[in-house]
Structure 1
Amino acid sequence: MSSALEYWPAPPPWGWAADDLDHLPYEGPNGEPDFFKHVELIDGALVFMSPQRRFHERLIRGLTERLDAEAPTHLSAVQQMDVKLGERTRPCPDLMVIDAEAAADNARTFYEAREVHLVIEIVSPESVERDRKLKPLRYAEAGIPHFWRVEETDGRPVAYVYERDPATGAYALTGIHHGHLAVQVPFPVEVDLDQLVK
């Protein structure tokens, strides 16, 4: 089989596969540095993510530190690592809480859905549709039990917290948190959301 990149910028006839992401080059087809640095695979399509805003970066850093500090020893928070949801879907969430054993493997480029306990997406202007509709659907289908979506409203973070309903296999909203987030699952944690972006 030929390399998928031989068909760039069109997808290969057989479509992009999750494992193709491990073989993307450092440079783009015309020598652009870091061309494939922020790319994810959603339903066989490569999605290039826009540059991060400072609001986004502060939330990722702050939530990672807070979750890591409160997580039980068998769990660990990681940021901007891929999760393989199937042969043709490998998104790169902003933040995940995963098995500590998986996090300890420094050779990993992605995690399996069964190793993930919580996915957090911080919504950017260009990712609204994916983060509100498409990605949560795929995370729930893969069996990931918890999903948080964080949006910006008037310069402040608002967290939408979901839990997977085992009867339907879909996420159910369990709370909308303004300024302060407190939950008991996947483990007890409290976060001053406003403080993270100050």
Structure 2
Amino acid sequence: MTTDRPRRLAAAALVLAAATGLAGCHTGFDAATGKQYQPGIGAVQREGDVRLYNVLLVENSDGTFSLSAGVVNTTDDEQVLAGATFTPLTVEEGSEGTPTAVETAGDVAVPAGGRLTLGPEGELAGLEIEDTGEGRYVTVTLTFEGSGEVAVQAPVVARIAEYSSIPEESAAAAAERAAEEEAAAEEEAAEEDGEAALVEDTPAE
């Protein structure tokens, strides 16, 4: 005597698997539209001559932001970064905040057919961007002299240990601060030397 029990069990298993899969898709959709990114996951732009990977902005302790991004050059020519614009997306759908434009010194270049990681050298760090913060999105537009603009909507993430290698200030700002500190130290040393000399020249009573 035959039975349909094995078939019914197999059908039930397929239905359960399908339901589980749909539930997983629903969760992923909610996570994506909730504007919250997991650490280390950034935006991607795979089209055009210059492509961007894992693009995100790290919120610094002083309220500024630092860019972290992987840049891939698919052309046969070096691509020099000429500037960048950061436009925050506001809470209202389809609206944008005040853009922040930054010009570079022309010393950041992606080799022909190569790649470059922006972030560890503080190429675009210490950025003052209004109306944004952790959990929000910013349209990042990078302009290259050879291929024009490439844009992507990148998440803003909190500064955690994973991003400790990304400076909170730009390389230029860090160099300027170091020069000011060195000048102040030299001035202080000179004052101390002058005071010591004055003490030596003062006759004892």
Which TM-score bucket, shorter chain as reference? under 0.3
Greater gyration radius: 2
Provide TM-score, normalisation by structure 1.
0.21
TM-score of the pair, normalised by structure 2: 0.20
Bigger RCO (CA 8 Å, 6+ sep) = 2
